[in-house]
Structure 1
Amino acid sequence: MTIAYWCVLFMGLFPYVATGIAKKGFEGYDNGMPRQWLAKQTGFRARANAAQANLFESLPFFFAAVVIASIANAPQNRVDLLAIGFVAARTAYLICYVADWPTTRSIVWLAGLACVVAIFFQI
């Protein structure tokens, strides 16, 4: 399995880290109505929940880039490095979102997007 494929696996599971942060402490958490409970949250919980949604939203583009690059026999070492860059950017993104650093969050979001677009240009 390539490094890029490992990155796909990691990113497929990573949004659940944000879920855990959003539900950390479970104060009054209602597992029967989790979305309603999350909708009432503020502060880091609300930001972690928003980060979770954005992390899920970014997956199709990243997954497609890695799969298409693989099918097209793009240089694997470059695809791997860009996939690692995407993972690093999205990890920093979650940290910035939870910490409430919006400008830095936007910068690392753009860096992650640039990594995915760059994967397409390896073809």
Structure 2
Amino acid sequence: MTTAYWCVLIAAYLPLAFTGLAKFGAGGRDFDNRAPRAMLARLDGWRARANWAQANGFEAFPPFAAAVIIAHLAAVPQARIDLLALSFIGLRVVYGVLYIADLATLRSIVWIASVGCVIGLFVSAA
């Protein structure tokens, strides 16, 4: 399995780290496993932002996964695919941290860079 394929696995589950922070941050005293979505909707502050980072991670995953697979099928040089995939993962981690820290402008710049990785994979396959 290639490094980029491992990155697809990581990208699929990276959002769970942010939802874990949202649910269990501050001791998770108000976590309700019977209605977790309702509980998450009531959060505020950094825990709400962690939940939003989680949602955005799930939104970012499908185009990234498709781009990696298409790049492999198009026989893009493996080093390029791996570099763009690893960059995407690193940027998505930074994105989540910036979201939680409420640094909106920096977060948006990092989001654009992560989208650039996905576009780079598609363009490389063209």
Compute the TM-score of the two structures, normalised by the length of structure 2.
0.95
Q: Secondary structure at the match of 2:95?
A: helix
The amino acid across from 1:93 in the alignment is Y
Give matches, 1:29-44, under 5 Å: 29-44=31-46
Runs of 4+ in 1 over 6 A off after TM superposition: none
Mapped partners of 2:122, 2:92: distance in 1: 18
Give matches, 1:106-117, under 5 Å: 106-117=108-119
The amino acid across from 1:98 in the alignment is I
The amino acid across from 1:20 in the alignment is G
Mapped partners of 1:28, 1:113: distance in 2: 35
The amino acid across from 1:3 in the alignment is T
Identity %: 51
Structure 1, residues 76-118: CA drift from partner, whole Å, max 9, x if none?
Answer: 1101000011011101000000111001000000000001000
- Match for residue 94 of structure 2? 92
Mapped partners of 1:23, 1:62: distance in 2: 26
1:13 deviates by 1.1
1:27 deviates by 1.6
1:121 deviates by 1.4
Matched positions, count = 123
- Match for residue 14 of structure 1? 14
Which protein has the bigger helix share?
Answer: 2
Structure 1, residues 23-61: CA drift from partner, whole Å, max 9, x if none?
Answer: 122122111011111111100110000000000000000
Mapped partners of 1:28, 1:12: distance in 2: 26
Q: Secondary structure at the match of 1:121?
A: helix
The amino acid across from 1:57 in the alignment is E
Gaps of 5+ in 1: none
Gaps of 5+ in 2: none
Mapped partners of 1:98, 1:28: distance in 2: 19
Mapped partners of 1:27, 1:97: distance in 2: 22
Q: Secondary structure at the match of 1:59?
A: helix
Compute the TM-score of the two structures, normalised by the length of structure 1.
0.97
